[in-house]
Amino acid sequence: MGITLADVEEALAQTSEPAPGGYTDRDTLLYAVAIGMGRDPLDHKELEYVCETVGKRVVPTAATVLSRASRPAGGGRSSLTSKMNFALMLHGEQRLTVHQPLPPAAETRVGSRTTGVYDKGKGKGALVTSETDVTLADGSPLYTLGSTMFFRGDGGFGGQSEGAPVPHPLPERKPDMVCEMPGRADQAMVYALCGDRNPLHRDPEFAKKAGFDVPILHGLCSYGIACHAVLKTALDYDQTRVAGFDVRFSSPVFPGETQVVEMWEDGNVISFRVRIKERDVVSINNGKCTIR
């Protein structure tokens, strides 16, 4: 089908009123379990995220699963991307700005918009960037999500090629901190209950059609595991210090693999990347956690 410059211009020009949304503590508790918290049921610091009688902390990256609205919030994403080849789409980058610590449950307002479409050339694909703003019901900003999707089959429509987000550079010294995060073979099954039911992550036959021998772990699950590691290793589990959390996805992860999170601390920035221990490949690169 393909997209045209007119499709891009229409998507970038679209605006809409935010739609009502919300979530409960079931959502925030389940997310913490899905990214590996609570495996030691006597670890008090993690219990504050997974047991409401012990604490009411919420992992900041839970924002990625708490942004559902009761109706589409607009912004042109669906009308544009419906003409693009989803079979060749990859989640390239994820960004998060935290305006205030996430409450365990909340009524929200959700607004989304397309912020950029970049043509890498025929045969080289296209990048689509978008943002989702979430506020509390009283209008106070809660968080902003940003994403970059790489549509490998949709380049060459004549759009601009420059201006996409630039990845955060990592320090060239040895990591200041390293944290190993063991995976579980059933982790994708649990994470899917947070809302992402893509069969690529659970159905072996579907995964084979997509070119994988077995289902792969959700990229946003690995994103949450990286945040878990940073909280555990560098921030003493204090989620209120996280102001931003940005990554670039670089390689698939298989359920059960060990994700080794390498971290560098410089002022108010913790840079990080994730390496898969069993295969020695980098799965998340150019990570940037901005701290308060």
- Catalytic residue numbers? 196, 201
Residue (of 135, 142, 32, 138) closest to 98 by Cα position: 142
Q: Chain centroid to CA 246: how far?
A: 8
Sign, CA torsion 215/220/224/229: positive
Please provide residue 222's backbone torsions phi and psi, each rounded to the nearest 5 degrees. Answer: -60, -35
CB 165 within 8 A of CB 95: yes
CB 273 within 8 A of CB 259: no
Q: Chain centroid to CA 179: how far?
A: 20
Helix, strand, or coil here: 149? strand
Give the tokens for residue 3: 């997209």
Q: In DSSP terms, which residues pair with 6 in a beta bridge?
A: none
Q: Where are the beta strands (DSSP E) in 29-125?
A: 89-98, 106-119
Please provide residue 116's backbone torsions phi and psi, each rounded to the nearest 5 degrees. Answer: -170, 150
CA dihedral 179, 230, 249, 93 (to 10 degrees): -170
Token pair 């009524």 in the structure block, residue: 107
Token pair 């990229």 in the structure block, residue: 219
DSSP string for 210-237? TT-SSPPPPHHHHHHHHHHHHHHHHSTT
Give the tokens for residue 115: 């912020």
